Amino acid sequence: MDIVVAGIAVAAFAAVVFVLVNAGGHTGPQTIRMVPIPDDGEELLTVQQAATALEVPPSEIIELVERDAIPFFVIRGGTWSNPEHLRFKRAELDAWTIG
């Protein structure tokens, strides 16, 4: 009986460690907003334009998207994993950098 309890405790501990270190692999952003192109009149920036506006390399913009740490949109019909499908609203980036 003690072996069964010990086995359950080890399995529970392993599950907690698995969740904490995200050993299941990268799943990408949890919140994906879609935007139609052409846009509704708001200025939508590409990854390169957002990188220029924030004065960081494009790779950092991609990392922020992957961590769901920056507000972004995906062109309708696109995927978040393709940088060409990502768009950023200038007003949201301005608010994100200030706040």
Nearest to 88 by CA among 38, 53, 47, 34: 47
Specify the 3-state DSSP secondary structure of 23: coil
CA-nearest of 80, 91, 4 to 39 is 91
Q: How does residue 1 score in pLDDT terms, banded at 50, 70 and 90?
A: low
What average pLDDT is seen over the chain? Answer: 76
Mind listing the pLDDT tens digit for each residue in 45-82? 999 999 999 999 999 999 999 999 999 999 888 888 89
Q: Is 13 helix (H, G, I), strand (E, B) or coil?
A: helix
The whole model's pTM is what? 0.64
Answer yes or no: is pLDDT of 95 > 80.
yes
CA 60 from centre of chain:
12
Q: Report the pLDDT averaged over residues 27-51.
A: 76
Q: What is the structure's pLDDT at 23?
A: 42
Distance between CA atoms of residues 99 and 91, nearest Å: 12
